[in-house]
Every structure is written in structure tokens, then in C-alpha cells.
Amino acid sequence: MKIAVIVGTRPELIKMAVLIKELKKRDLNHLFIHSGQHYDYFMDGMVMELFELPKPDHHLSVGSGSHSETTAKIMVKIEELILKEKIDLVVVHGDTNTTLATSLAACKTAAKIAHVEAGLRSYDRSMPEETNRVLVDHLSNYLFCPTEGAVENLSKEGINTGIHLVGQSIVDAVTYISQGITPVILEKHSLHSDSYLFVTCHRQENTDCNLRLNGIMEALLHLATHTPYKVVFALHPRTKKILIINNFLARLSNHQNVLVLDPPPNFQETIHLQQHAKIVLTDSGGLQEESCILGTPCITLRENTERPETVDCGANTLAGYDTKKIIQIVETTLNSPTKWKHPYGSAGISAKILDIMTGGST
């Protein structure tokens, strides 16, 4: 059986890095394919170096475009590769356009599909990611779920076969990184543990809506002005463009208590920044999980989440985009206990997934 792991974005690459390394270790004939949906060094090149990943066997270089354009280009190229390379099983992750396009191409060519991080639901169909993850789950032969809640979500939709509760692969990535050399990013910027709020904001529903983006940015400026905590803002390339258009980037950069990290930190630095932050404020699904694993309180700048287990265990609070609500929840979180047990399992999840797919375990 010939297996191909297909990724296209930085979050996918991070969560699949240990699995890719293990797959290549077991058999070099298995393939690592990158769609090129994220294509600059700061978005994925540093991840490749950080995890010492091999060069992709194929890089499709699809670049940016509309959702439909990107999905269509990836579908065409992946279909060609499946047929040319005689791929039996594609392994995809999460909810990106690369994940959806690969799954559609695979089902049209009779290749099997394994979906890592199956069963997540925000129940907000206005989010393109929600549409992607639902469709991929219904196409997949192997559904690797991170939590019991994800398994239950699939059952509610009538998916009851091919499901494996394995845990969240980000645990492997965090474990791998924590065993390496500690980055110097805190020292570089004169940051100390529990002295800052770490912030990311990149989701389309926030960046493409002025009402939401302005609400979040005004909250950050208020927190930088009226609390003793520095605001450390990791700046996503798309967010940077929109903040410039809306005259917010200069206001943030010129504030004495705001540190804008541009380009954004690599994964190792991001883990270190989350680990030592007082609070993480983010609209990223991945950071909700990572901060939960690391033991740092998270405030999610969305009105829903496909990671409800982070809320249930007490690690995460949904704040949305209203300025006053974000400020209020930060104040409450600063005075709340920070002890919980994360629900994502122990290291070794990537190996478990490969064992199941190759018949080494059931």
C-alpha cells in the first residue's frame, strides 16, 4: 500500500510533522506532498526546518486565490498525482482547502482517505472551515478523532464506521519541540513569564469584517493602556495587510506597551510565548489546543469553537469580538484559577495513527 500525506498550510504541517517523519522512517516510498497553499518561508519554510522534515516529494505551488480557485487547482493536480504515483491512501488534516480538494480528488479516483482531526464541529456554516471538515468526514474511510466529543459529533451525523479515538497530534508536535533547545525570543524582547498577553488574529470572519476587527483591536489597545501587561501581537501576513488599510497597524506599533511580531514567530517560539504568557487571546483553533496543553488560560476571539473541550475543562473562554466583552473576560480570567487536565492524550499519537492504517493496530 502506498500512502501519501498531503498538507498545504502551516497549521497542517505542524500537526502532521511528526507523522510525516515517522512515515518516511518506516518506508521512503510513501509520499509527502505539499500543495503550496501557504508558500512563503515564514508561513511554512521555518516549520520544515524546525522539524527537520525531508523535502516534499511533490510541491504543487498552487499559491493564493479564492476558495474555489485554490480548491479546483489542488483537485486537478492531486488527481494527476494519485494516478501517476498509484497512491492507495491519502492522509489529510483538519479543515483547509487542501484537505477538501485532496479528499474530493481521492474519492473520484477510488483512493482511500484518512482524516486526522476528524469530528470537530463549530456548527457555524458561515465558516469555510466548517464546510470543509464536514464534507471530508463524510468522504473518509479512516476518521482519527482527537476527543470523545469528536466521536459523538460523527455519530450524530450517522458516521459510525472507520472511527478511531487516538488523541490530538499536536501533542506530538509540542512534545517534540519541548525536547529541543529553548528559543531566545523572550530574552530578545525583554519579556518575562506572566508579564504579557500573547495575541494572534487571522481568521477570515474577523479580518474580513471591519466591525469585528475594530472591536478586537480596540480591546487590545485598551488592555495595553489600562493593564500592566504588555500586548504581544504575532502578526499574520493577511492580517497585516488589512490592519494597514484600516489604519490600525501604526496605532499598535507606536503604542509603548504593544509588541508587534512581524514576521510572526515560528512554531517553537509560539509555543514558548504561549507557555510563559499570562493569557493567550486568539481566533486560532490550534492555539486553543496548544494553550490548553501548556496550561495557559485562553480567550477565544470568536463566538463559537470547534474545540469545545477546551471550554469544558476550564482552559478557554469564548469572548467574540465586542470590545467591552473582551476586556471584561480578560479581567475575569486574570482572577480565576488556572488548573485543568487537558483532554488530548499523550505523545505517540502519530505512530498510533500509522499503525492503524498499515495494520499494525486496530
Cell of 61: 505551488
Residue 263: cis peptide before it, omega within 30 degrees of 0? yes
Pure H helices in the chain: 10-26, 46-50, 67-85, 97-109, 128-139, 148-156, 170-178, 185-188, 204-207, 210-226, 237-245, 249-253, 267-276, 285-294, 308-312, 323-334, 349-358
Residue in the block written with cell 487536565: 341
CA distance 67 to 25: 34
- Supply the DSSP string of 215-260, one letter for each residue: HHHHHHHHHHHHSSSEEEEE--HHHHHHHHHTT-HHHHHT-TTEEE
164 flagged as catalytic: no
Q: Residue 91: helix, strand or coil by DSSP?
A: strand
- Element (H or E) spanning 316, and its range? strand 316-318
CB 23 within 8 A of CB 1: no
CB 261 within 8 A of CB 234: yes
CA distance 35 to 77: 9
Q: Residue 198: helix, strand or coil by DSSP?
A: strand
CA distances from 281 to 46, 232, 297, 319, 330 (A): 23, 10, 9, 9, 9
The active-site residue, picked from 30, 34, 93, 202, is 202
Q: Residue 271: helix, strand or coil by DSSP?
A: helix
Active site residues: 202
